[in-house]
Amino acid sequence: MIHSLFLINSAGDIFLEKHWKSVVSRSVCDYFFEAQERATEAENVPPVISTPHHYLLSVYRHKIFFVAVIQTEVPPLFVIEFLHRVVDTFQDYFGVCSEPVIKDNVVVVYEVLEEMLDNGFPLATESNILKELIKPPTILRTVVNTITGSTNVGDQLPTGQLSVVPWRRTGVKYTNNEAYFDVIEEIDAIIDKSGSTVTAEIQGVIDACVKLTGMPDLTLSFMNPRLLDDVSFHPCVRFKRWESERILSFIPPDGNFRLLSYHVSAQNLVAIPVYVKHNISFRDSSSLGRFEITVGPKQTMGKSIEGVTVSSQMPRGVLSMNLTPSQGTHMFDPVTKMLSWDVGKINPQKLPSLKGTVSLQAGASKPDENPTINLQFKIQQLAISGLKVNRLDMYGEKYKPFKGIKYMTKAGKFQVRT
């Protein structure tokens, strides 16, 4: 299955490699570096690269490329999903997944990778099981290991490995029993010059943090489950119950996990929460252009829009920009021609605007097309698809847990054409 794994930073250096079946030479990554050079951005590197003797499958997260090397044909999504699971495990173990952190905990990283794959085939990918096999690093444990020469490898086999619910360990006890669910939606949209929606879709996830004693059985129901399309579940969810009743029934893993991810692609169901008024013009005879944009809320159910940032790649003929923002700070890089405006929170009574003039190269022809505007924003306590949790019930245990649901909408690739 997976022969080797290479971790490559954004500078193109291989800073960690792990081999399972046989040692694959680092030179195989040359094909990956060639593809990286051809791609303008890191996100545009093809996830599957075919070479004469191998296939390279990669994911890019936290400014690191995780590149798996395989020799025979396998379902690509299978390997890509495993790579994402590796990143999530590192994040769970170390708090952040970054090059310095991985280098600092290199022994634990190798131990975890050894358990996750057995002879190239995925074995233990559940965080609960891995944490019983390989203890997460702490300052105290690191000091003790240094003095005694012991390792982070657990003394006993995980209890959950042999049960029918391998994702949950037995004998879990908490003084405070609590279950929190975060409904997070990311909206990708392209808005045309007139303000009409060209394309819009929502990628949503429900992340859970469950700390409950014993072996609780939870059911989660929605007000409008028919909204959910293309749903992907954690293995703990009973699929038959979802198919027949549209209710999530599950014995949850202990701690943090992703309960499900979903997709809403029907255009009429996707509400656009912001609008941009723009007036960007370049004249043929003049070396000056006009630049005006205003950002405002739309269909936000009264919730405020925060963390708004606007960026735009200006045409190559632009020399400088003389702009005045009504709020926030802006910056124009004359080398990369990138304009960025940090707006902050939108006040509906006084909409933020950025106005001014654009200086063009003398004698240069008018730019062929106007720049596109990219937006980033967050809306707390709102799921833009309209998804709402109806109720959360617990069976199998006698105590009353504390329950909480939080909603958030944020921008994914949100583009406005001018």
pLDDT in tens, 41-82: 888 899 999 999 999 999 999 999 999 999 998 999 999 999
pLDDT at 152 over 60: yes
Residues 13-31 have a mean pLDDT of 93
Is residue 395 within 8 A of residue 216, CB to CB? The reply is yes
What pLDDT is recorded for position 191?
94
Q: Which of 143-152, 253-262, 280-289, 377-386 has the lowest mean pLDDT?
A: 143-152
Q: Does the pLDDT of residue 160 top 80, yes or no?
A: no
Question: What pLDDT is recorded for position 283?
Answer: 78
Q: pTM (2 decimals)?
A: 0.84
Mean pLDDT of 181-190: 96
Region 392-401 average pLDDT:
93
pLDDT at 162: 58
Q: Which CATH architecture has domain 2-148?
A: 2-Layer Sandwich (3.30)
Closest CA to 278 of 416, 72, 87: 416
pLDDT band at 164 (very low <50, low <70, confident <90, very high): confident
Tokens found for residue 385:
């698809």
Q: Do domains 2-148 and 274-380 have the same CATH topology?
A: no
How many angstroms separate the CA atoms of 17 and 121, rounded? 17
172, pLDDT greater than 60: yes
Confidence of residue 155 (pLDDT cuts 50, 70, 90): low
Give me the phi and psi of 305, to 5 degrees please: -100, 125
Cβ contact 203:371 at 8 Å: no
Superfamily of domain 178-270+382-416: Mu homology domain, subdomain B (2.60.40.1170)
| The pLDDT value given to residue 30 | 95
pLDDT of residue 180 exceeding 90: yes
For residue 302, give the amino acid letter: G
Residues facing residue 311 across a β-bridge: 340, 374
Q: For residue 377, what pLDDT band results from cuts at 50, 70 and 90? A: very high
User: Would you list the domain boundaries of the chain?
Assistant: 2-148, 178-270+382-416, 274-380
Hey, which residues does 416 pair with through a beta bridge? 191, 373
Confidence of residue 6 (pLDDT cuts 50, 70, 90): very high
The answer to whether the CB of 352 falls within 8 A of the CB of 346 is yes
Q: Report pLDDT for 252.
A: 94
**Band (141; pLDDT cuts 50, 70, 90):** low
Angle of helix 76-94 versus helix 106-116 axis, rounded to 10? 140
What is 274-380's CATH superfamily?
A: Mu homology domain, subdomain B (2.60.40.1170)
Residues β-bridged to residue 200: 189
* 328 — pLDDT class (breaks 50, 70, 90): very high
User: Is residue 116 predicted with pLDDT exceeding 80?
Assistant: yes
Distance CA 44, CA 35 (A): 9
User: 286: phi > 0 → left, psi -120 to 50 → alpha, else beta; which?
Assistant: beta
* Candidate from 24-33, 85-94, 125-134 with smallest mean pLDDT: 125-134
Query: Could you give the maximum distance between any two Cα atoms of the chain, in Å?
Result: 80
Range with the poorest average pLDDT among 146-150, 233-237, 351-355: 146-150
Task: Note the pLDDT of residue 360.
Answer: 87
pLDDT at site 413: 93
pLDDT at 144: 67
Tell me what pLDDT residue 299 has. 84
pLDDT surpassing 80 at residue 103: yes
Q: What pLDDT, on the 0 to 100 scale, is given for residue 56?
A: 96
pLDDT at residue 25 greater than cutoff 70: yes
Compute the mean pLDDT over every residue in the chain, rounded to the nearest whole number.
90
Res. 171 pLDDT band, cuts 50 70 90: confident
